[in-house]
Amino acid sequence: MRAVIVIIFIVFTGYTGTAQIPVNNTIDPSDTELNVAVRFLSNYLSEFTPAKKFLPDFTQYWPAADCRRYRIPDRLIYAVSAEIPTYMLGKPTILSARPENGRVHIKTMFSRVDSTGNVMVSAITNHYVQRGADGRLYFVNPMAIAAQDWRSTELNNFTYHYPAYHKFDKQKAKELTEKTDKLEKEWNVLPILIEYYFADTREEIEHYRGFDFTIAMGNRDKPSGISDGIDNIIYCGGMGENYFHEVVHIYLNKLFPQSPLTEGLAVFYGGSLGHDLSWHLKRLDTYLQVHPNIDLNNPDDFYYLDNYTNPLSTIQGMLCHMAYKKDGVAGLRRTMKYTSLTTLLKVEYGIDRSGWNKFLRDQIATNAQ
């Protein structure tokens, strides 16, 4: 998903924040409440531009309690991509604004128009604007509005949040705790308090967070998730209480912020999309055998195989597996310190760029056995 998001961002004509946001359904000019709320959201979205290196001052838009609890109180910003703010994945269009339970509920679409004139939508968001006791406008977290339909359970350093229909599985939660304890010992890192939101499907989680649609939704449903390493939050669907992949991201990404293998490290430890690394390697090996034209000298060009196996993260996971098999965690630490795949393959394996295709194909075939 990461590679797809980045490619989409490159071709998007990003929102510059300099033009007034269009409103799909005209709002009565005399309706002060709706117009003020729409202007409040428009001002907020204008803060997200390529020219600005920092996120907005959230205290101007979010309640003080939310700002004290979270460094980024807006749960939508990095919900689609962990690197690119949702509000920069396309140009915004306000679809509707309506009063709702003392708040103003605003739906916004973020999209682009491709070269053939088709509208490509990246997200449809829900924002709730409410006037506080101090007379100021604030956003209300959509998750707080839906909180009455969710339950919470604390176990060790995890606080689980899940729909009321779900019966909490203590055994799965125990398995996640055991994996996490082992990771902490292996890497000599301190425990991290993690908020863990999960549901039966990823789409349910996305709706709970405040989306009607994101580009991560659709197709056949499969286990997936995303982590917020800033506030240590996990959102996932389809794996219940035991989605170790995202836990690895929260613990280890911050140790190697420049590594090209952070996704691979999570795949090595926690698998991907409901399957372990071995499963993905077997599928990748089979695919490559019947597609000899694929050139792994340029692996970034091979970013999509199907909806179940990501070839890039599988290759990255394999390189982590090879490092661990040779030298354990010490080998992983050394491998993760490289800031480019070019240097890693040259120093660790003596392979120049022209030899990547043969080397990677051979290693995939060997490690898929």
| Reported pTM | 0.91
For the chain, how many residues are written? 369
Boundary-marking domain end, from 139, 163, 191: 139
Q: Based on the domain organization, do 135 and 238 belong to the same domain?
A: no
Would you give the DSSP letter of residue 231? T
Under 8 Å between Cβ of 70 and 78: no
Q: Sorting pLDDT into bands at 50, 70 and 90, what band is 148?
A: confident
Determine the structural domain holding residue 168 and report its residue range.
Answer: 146-255
Residue 344, both tokens: 């890693």
Under 8 Å between Cβ of 209 and 124: no
Number of Cβ within 10 Å of residue 246's Cβ equals 24
pLDDT at 74 over 70: yes
Higher pLDDT, 217 or 140: 140
Q: Based on the domain organization, do 323 and 305 belong to the same domain?
A: yes
Q: Based on the domain organization, do 76 and 17 belong to the same domain?
A: yes
Region 267-275 average pLDDT: 96
Per residue in 43-63, pLDDT (tens digit) is 999 999 888 888 999 999 999
Of 144, 172, 146, 148, residue with least CA distance to 158: 172
Q: Based on the domain organization, do 175 and 102 belong to the same domain?
A: no
pLDDT at 1 over 60: no
Q: Based on the domain organization, do 131 and 150 belong to the same domain?
A: no
Q: Based on the domain organization, do 190 and 285 belong to the same domain?
A: no
Residue 253, both tokens: 């990404």
Total domains in the fold of the chain: 3
Boundary-marking domain end, from 85, 118, 139: 139
Q: Based on the domain organization, do 124 and 10 belong to the same domain?
A: yes
